[in-house]
Chain A
Amino acid sequence: MSDKVIFATYTDEEVLKDGAKKLVSKGIKINEVFSPFPIHGIDPIIGIKNTRLGIMAFLYGLTGLTLATVGMRYMMIVDWPMNIGGKPNFSYLDNILAFIPITFEFTVLCAAHGMAITYLLKNKTLPGMPAQNPYPSTTDDRFVIEIRVSENANYTSEDIQNLVKETGIEGFEEKEC
């Protein structure tokens, strides 16, 4: 089924925010906002939930911690207990001080890389992907609201257009997709 998409362009993020508030209060669903930098406070207005990537980072970190502990215990205590200067090496706990630096480093390594990879996959931004923004100017100084007509069953395309035009827009475009 073909769908109509309305793109409204703004030159200022504060105007866009006020406009988005007005549109949302009229019951219009804003599908997407494109901007050259993060607009603070836009997420609750257009109904975007906070990301849970932080929890993922914690889980990746725990994985790293576990791997480092298990790995070092196996190598240093189980497989080949080394006697270095007569220091105790018959249990992991006796020798734990020497293992802390690498445990920490490996935890950070796994948390950072795991989170970064998840972030790129979730965003669907990978090397060589085609640009996803509607206009090139949205990475420069333009802010764009995207509204899908199919998501706003109560309004016709013309109604939405009229409402959008009252919010201080700079440009306006309707596309089929």
Chain B
Amino acid sequence: MHKEAAIREPLILGHKTYHDITEDVCRPIEDKAPKMWYILFGIALIIGVYGVGCIVYLLGTGVGVWGLNKTIGWAWDITNFVWWVGIGHAGTLISAVLLLFRQKWRMAINRSAEAMTIFAVFMAGLFPLIHMGRLWVGYWTLPLPNQFGSLWVNFNSPLLWDVFAISTYLSVSLIFWYIGLIPDFATIRDRAKKPISKKMYSILSFGWSGRAKHWNRFELVSLVLAGLATPLVFSVHSIVSFDFATSIVPGWHTTIFPPYFVAGAVFSGFAMVQTLMLIMRKAMGLEAYIHTKHVEYMNIVIMVTGSIVGTAYITELFISWYSGVEYESYAFINRATGPYWWAYWSMMTCNVISPQLMWFRKLRRSLLFTFFISIIVNIGMWFERYVIIVTSLHRDYLPSAWSMHYPSHIDIGIYVGTIGLFFVFFLLFARFFPVLALNEVKTILKSSGESYKNSPETEHAH
């Protein structure tokens, strides 16, 4: 059995048994939803439907309804895309990278973080699709034999790499998540009393048995998928950053982008996990499984990745001067002092200064403070993408073309709408799916559960 140092804080608080874990996770699914759930779901649904309405209007009228112009051809759409993809990085990082590193604290959060990942990537994928203006020809991005002669997609283009990276990431995350869910659906299936839910979870659980051979395969499949997903996580955001890194526009011509984007993605992803987890643990009574120690671990990840991001910002600034390329220097001076200074300094404050506060143990163990910082970080990361995209474009080589970007209400509607849709999906997940990886949490009960760790009886037994 896995042993853990006695001075480590237990990961499962209180005197839980295997059955208690099942009860705690299944109760919110089996009970009637609280009123608060309906209220939140209603709000999210209204916002989401409004967003869908804006998308329909955009598709019916044309991309001109966005606030874009000839100089600034990418603005909120791609900002939102990169922002959502970034948020979508924490889930697979938590479940894959932390699985390879044998970090047991991941087990309390990986299921919902992966769900968050999948829904965030849904939202991200929406933007490049509607950005095409003609959604119905979206399949042209695939290398299909066609009637236009020998016209293939351009495999030299980072935009096409993106198509492959995002779709691979989405589908691999989805199966990784679902394979972990199957045994937990079986638990709900075997407890279900109502015929409809019994039938539903029976279909979802694929007839899972819990045989020793099946568990043997399950563990290997999880490990290999984690091994595959780990380089995938890093590759996806590297490839997203290539959209900008391989360009020749000043500000979009930076080889530092791949590692910097990956760190930024982990940074914003963990912040979103914190936002969701802090609410969820309270609302669903999971305080014994997701507690201060988990929050502290995640805050440390936020601090480390935030520092990497901060270093990258400053390196980028230094290199723009050190390169001696005046266009490059101007792009960066313009970011900090030009008409978009407020975006740049919001980004700097939110992403560079705020994570440094996590050096204080008191602050990083404070749930209220963590919640506040997690929102700040997500605002900051949105501004980062806005700064990179809009301020690099708005003053190009031709001063007569210099311009500003003002978002239209459709820009704002679609962005806010995706947040609504994201919460619609997440609330449905929290209502009908096991939000904790039951089968994984049970394996650490004896090594890291409070009652087992602190009882003198078990200490003598070992």
Interface residues of A (CB under 8 A from B): 14, 32-40, 42-43, 46, 48, 50-51, 53-54, 57, 71-72, 75-76, 79-80, 82, 84, 87, 89, 95, 98-99, 101-102, 104-106, 108-109, 111-113, 115-116, 119-120, 122-133, 136-141
Partner pick for A33 among B158, B171, B211, B228, CB 8 A cutoff? B211
B281 within 8 A of A: no
Bin the interface of chain B by size.
Answer: 35 or more
A141 touches B206 (CB 8 A): no
B172 touches A137 (CB 8 A): no
Chain A residues touching B, majority SS: helix
The contact string, 1 if C-beta is below 8 Å from chain A, for chain B 218-251, is 1111001100110110010001001000000000
B212 touches A76 (CB 8 A): no
B171 touches A119 (CB 8 A): no
Q: How far is the CA of A125 from the CA of B186 in the complex (A)?
A: 11
Add 9 more A-B contacts to A37-B440, A84-B154 (CB < 8 A). Answer: A43-B216, A75-B152, A76-B155, A108-B172, A113-B172, A125-B207, A130-B202, A139-B190, A139-B210
Partner pick for B209 among A99, A112, A133, CB 8 A cutoff? A133
B308 within 8 A of A: no
Interface residues of B (CB under 8 A from A): 1-2, 17-19, 22, 143, 150-156, 158, 160-161, 164-165, 168, 171-172, 175-176, 179, 182-183, 186-187, 189-191, 202-221, 224-225, 228-229, 231-232, 235, 239, 242, 438-440, 442-443
A140 touches B190 (CB 8 A): yes
Given contacts A102-B160, A139-B208, contact A133 B190 (CB under 8 A): yes
Q: How far is the CA of A42 from the CA of B183 in the complex (A)?
A: 18
A35 touches B212 (CB 8 A): yes
A141 touches B155 (CB 8 A): no
CB neighbours of A98 from chain B (8 A): 155-156
Partner pick for B172 among A34, A102, A109, CB 8 A cutoff? A109
A48 touches B213 (CB 8 A): yes
Q: How far is the CA of A115 from the CA of B214 in the complex (A)?
A: 14
Partner pick for B191 among A35, A43, A71, A136, CB 8 A cutoff? A136
B212 touches A101 (CB 8 A): no
Given contacts A37-B440, A75-B152, A79-B152, contact A131 B209 (CB under 8 A): yes
A82 touches B219 (CB 8 A): no
CB neighbours of B206 from chain A (8 A): 120, 125-129
Q: How far is the CA of A42 from the CA of B209 in the complex (A)?
A: 16
B207 touches A132 (CB 8 A): yes
Q: How far is the CA of A57 from the CA of B220 in the complex (A)?
A: 11
Q: How far is the CA of A167 from the CA of B42 in the complex (A)?
A: 55
Partner pick for B224 among A76, A115, A122, CB 8 A cutoff? A115
Q: How far is the CA of A160 from the CA of B215 in the complex (A)?
A: 26
Q: How far is the CA of A140 from the CA of B183 in the complex (A)?
A: 10
| Nearest A residue (CB) for B169 | A105
A140 touches B191 (CB 8 A): yes
Partner pick for B211 among A34, A75, A126, A129, CB 8 A cutoff? A34
Given contacts A36-B210, A101-B161, contact A122 B225 (CB under 8 A): no
| Nearest B residue (CB) for A145 | B212
Partner pick for B210 among A35, A99, A104, A127, CB 8 A cutoff? A35
Q: How far is the CA of A132 from the CA of B207 in the complex (A)?
A: 6
B216 touches A141 (CB 8 A): no
B207 touches A119 (CB 8 A): no
Q: How far is the CA of A140 from the CA of B215 in the complex (A)?
A: 15
A112 touches B210 (CB 8 A): no
Q: Can you sample 8 A-B contacts with CB below 8 Å? A: A48-B213, A53-B221, A54-B220, A75-B152, A112-B225, A123-B214, A139-B189, A140-B22
Q: How far is the CA of A167 from the CA of B182 in the complex (A)?
A: 31
| Nearest A residue (CB) for B184 | A139
CB neighbours of A115 from chain B (8 A): 221, 224-225
A80 touches B150 (CB 8 A): yes
A95 touches B156 (CB 8 A): yes
B189 touches A131 (CB 8 A): yes
A133 touches B210 (CB 8 A): yes
CB neighbours of A139 from chain B (8 A): 183, 186-187, 189-190, 208, 210
CB neighbours of B443 from chain A (8 A): 37-38, 40
| Nearest A residue (CB) for B182 | A125
B217 touches A119 (CB 8 A): yes
CB neighbours of B172 from chain A (8 A): 108-109, 112-113
Name the 8 nearest CB pairs between A and B, nearest first: A129-B207, A136-B190, A132-B209, A141-B18, A125-B206, A38-B215, A80-B150, A75-B152
Partner pick for A84 among B156, B187, B204, B212, CB 8 A cutoff? B156
CB neighbours of B183 from chain A (8 A): 36-37, 139
Given contacts A37-B439, A79-B150, contact A131 B143 (CB under 8 A): no
Q: How far is the CA of A115 from the CA of B239 in the complex (A)?
A: 25
Q: How far is the CA of A138 from the CA of B205 in the complex (A)?
A: 14
CB neighbours of A127 from chain B (8 A): 203-204, 206
Q: How far is the CA of A17 from the CA of B215 in the complex (A)?
A: 15
Closest Cβ of chain B to A44, distance in Å, is 11
B212 touches A99 (CB 8 A): no
CB neighbours of A57 from chain B (8 A): 224, 228
Partner pick for A119 among B158, B160, B221, B232, CB 8 A cutoff? B221
Identify the interface centre among B182, B215, B225: most chain A CB within 10 Å of its CB: B215
Closest Cβ of chain B to A174, distance in Å, is 20
Closest Cβ of chain A to B167, distance in Å, is 8
A109 touches B18 (CB 8 A): no
